[in-house]
Amino acid sequence: MSAGRYFERSDPLIISVGNREITIKVREQSRPEIAERVYRQLLREREVQKDRDAAYARLLFGQGIHLN
């Protein structure tokens, strides 16, 4: 396998995020462990952002906004 070349695998990768499952096509590459680590970091960052957004929504709308 040459560096920088990608090859489609026949079997999909199923990842569970919360109560959802994501099916993705996996591409083999010369450094799959790095690609997987980067992908999982991206998923974590998205989940943190969604949790942060939900917390802001609860803060603003759950307690109500009181303007004088």
User: Token pair of 42, please?
Assistant: 């991206």
User: Token pair of 34, please?
Assistant: 């790095």
Coil, helix or strand for 47? helix
Is residue 24 within 8 Å of residue 13, measured between CB atoms? yes
Q: How many whole angstroms separate alpha carbon 28 and alpha carbon 26?
A: 6
Which pLDDT belongs to residue 26?
61
Segment 17-68, tens digit of pLDDT: 767 766 666 666 667 788 888 889 999 999 999 999 998 888 888 765 555 5
pTM: 0.45
